[in-house]
Amino acid sequence: MTDDPYQSRVGQQWEAADRVDPVIWPGGHGPLSEDQLASFARDGFLVLPGWVERTAVRCALDEAARIAHDRAGTEEVVAEPDSDVVRSLFRVHRSSAVAAALARSERLAGVASQILGSDVYVHQSRVNYKPALDGREFFWHSDFETWHVEDGMPRMRAVSASICLTESTEFNGPLMLVPRSHRTFIRCVGETPPEHYKQSLRRQQVGVPSADALAHLVDGAGIVAPKGPAGTVVFFDCNTMHGSTGNLSPSPRTNLFFVFNSVENRLVDPFGGMPPRPEHIATREVQPLRLA
């Protein structure tokens, strides 16, 4: 037996386990109203149109293009599974002063600190690209399952902020979430291959829910796909089941992600028994953010 309440990828059959951690941690203060906090606690996500100013969005979009060009050929730039088209760009908060300023803003880090009840740091940052007609899907997954098994994140005390740098529509591969799924941990099936991240960042096949597990979460809860103009932010809990379809529209979809982790939830050895993933994917250096 193990004392790990979030053990995964060890059995032959998927299991649904109850969450044992709070969703809203005590002691937090920030810009969200009580109603907004209650909505996040209930659904596992919160959609805030116009939360980031258009000027900051335009600067971040320009920076994303510059960094992708400057870092071409490095591990920080991940291509689509069947082409050289850029899929993701990692560690942007260390490569861009614009992204770093956004990360420590009251409207991003302040919200994360309010939800997590502590100071926070950036566990991961990235830009996800969905080029027009060519952006591929991101399969359903709980981020926490991967961060726990492959990075050593102990508890569900992290939150993601997805910032729309372009308009998000029903046609260009928007983020999809399963309401209330954050309260159930899905134990996945499948042994983790060595250096799994090299494949999973292009197309994830291990650490994803089975069709039956996904149906279990969706039954009665449905699926939502928040849409909105550039500047819309979706905050979602680390265990919220989410994914996105491919982009078959003539309009690109570009999102900037920051993952905020509590300074009291720093990484330990990965619970899956493998070496930790590289620093640009999961930082092990805790630098509390000073809010701007």
285 belongs to a structural domain = no
- pLDDT of amino acid 64: 86
Average model confidence (pLDDT) across the chain: 93
Instruction: Report whether 238 contacts 156 (CB < 8 A).
Output: yes
What letter would DSSP give residue 195?
T
Predicted pLDDT of residue 79: 83
222 to 115, 123, 168, 172, 232: CA distances (angstroms): 24, 29, 20, 20, 22
Those residues with Cβ within 8 angstroms of residue 233's Cβ, 6 or more apart along the chain or in another chain: 47, 48, 51, 52, 107, 108, 161, 162, 163, 164
Predicted confidence band at 1 (pLDDT cuts at 50, 70, 90)?
very low
Write down the pLDDT at residue 202: 82
- Domain assignment of residue 162, yes or no: yes
- pLDDT by residue (tens digit) across 100-120? 999 999 999 999 999 999 999
pLDDT of residue 269: 97
Q: What is the pLDDT of residue 145?
A: 97
pLDDT at 101: 95
Tell whether 8 is covered by a domain: no
Contact by Cβ (8 Å): 274, 150: yes
Asked if the structure places residue 205 within a domain, the reply is yes
**Range of the structural domain that residue 173 is part of:** 43-265
Choice among 89-103, 135-149, 157-171, 189-203 with the minimum mean pLDDT: 189-203
CATH number at residue 70: 2.60.120.620
Low-confidence winner among 3-7, 85-89, 250-254, 283-287 (lowest mean pLDDT): 85-89
Reduced to 3 states, what is the DSSP secondary structure of residue 159? strand
Q: How far apart are CA 33 and CA 19, in angstroms?
A: 24
Evaluate if residue 31 carries a pLDDT over 70. Answer: yes
Instruction: Flag whether 27 is in a domain.
Output: no
- Residue 22 domain flag: no
* 288, part of any domain: no
Residue 58: the pLDDT is 94
Predicted TM-score (pTM) of the model is 0.95
Question: DSSP class of residue 192?
Answer: P
Is the model more confident about 202 or about 32?
Answer: 32
The pLDDT tens digits of the residues spanning 195-208 come to: 888 878 787 888 99
Q: How many domains does the chain have?
A: 1
Domain presence at residue 37 = no
Tell me what pLDDT residue 83 has.
82
